[in-house]
Amino acid sequence: MLSNRLVGLAEDCYNLAVAVSHLRVAVFAGSFDPLHMGHADIVDRAIQIFPKVVVGILNNPEKQGLFTPEQRVEMLRELYADNPAVEVRAFTGLLVNFLKEVKATIIIRGMRAVSDFEYEFQMALMNRHLWPQAETVFLTPKGRYTYLSSRLVREVAALGGDVTGLVPDPIRARLEEHFGIHAAVD
């Protein structure tokens, strides 16, 4: 019957649209404790390639961070509030399960230097082993951000150093608030 064929066709179209949209959602996963300019640069690059980028913040109950996962989600949601292509969510457990949850197959990772390679390569292959559809895409940040890491940013901020230009301004404000740093008045 014609109506059955039309229903079948509509289903095929829907499945195709879903399959295509799954392919195009990318997850930029990390601890982001805190997010720094290198991370922000990777997000900017990722949204030039993928229509939707989910920033996935690992909630690791065994590791106490500087900011709680809830605080990190709040900070990043504020940062990307005006960008509909970016969604911010926390996740626990395996990254590949989070990918399935948000209907993504792409993992974005930033690659700063050769020293990142081995760890990143192992993770990419492990994720592919766990879920063969998971594809890792490596993006490189601007050269001037390649020395940045969240660990160094935390250390500098904790010791009262100036993190202007190392993290987006709203994150700097949160770091200063956290460490009780007040801007010097001449």
Q: List the catalytic residues.
A: 39, 63, 112, 150
Q: How far is the CB of 164 from ligand PNS (least distance, A)?
A: 22
Question: What's the rounded Cα separation, in Å, for the pair 39 and 31?
Answer: 11
Q: Does residue 108 touch ligand PNS according to CB under 6 A?
A: no
Concatenating the DSSP letter of every residue in 41-96 gives HHHHHHHHH-SEEEEEEE--TTS--SS-HHHHHHHHHHHTTT-TTEEEEEE-S-HH
Per rule CB under 6 A, count of chain residues that contact ligand PNS: 9
Q: Bridge partners of 55?
A: 28, 88
Q: How far is the CB of 31 from ligand PNS (least distance, A)?
A: 4
Measured between alpha carbons, how far is residue 47 from residues 2, 36, 62, 84 in Å? 42, 17, 31, 10
Q: Does residue 95 touch ligand PNS according to CB under 6 A?
A: yes
Among 25, 26, 27, 29, binds ligand PNS (CB under 6 A): 29
61 or 180: CB nearest ligand PNS? 61
Query: Which helix or strand (DSSP H or E) is residue 30 part of?
Result: strand 25-30
122 or 164: CB nearest ligand PNS? 122
123 or 152: CB nearest ligand PNS? 123
Among 25, 27, 28, 31, binds ligand PNS (CB under 6 A): 31
112 or 184: CB nearest ligand PNS? 112
Q: Does residue 94 touch ligand PNS according to CB under 6 A?
A: yes
Q: Please say whether the beta carbons of 26 and 19 come within 8 A.
A: no
Q: Please say whether the beta carbons of 43 and 55 come within 8 A.
A: yes
Binding residues vs ligand PNS (CB under 6 A): 29-31, 58, 94-95, 123, 126-127
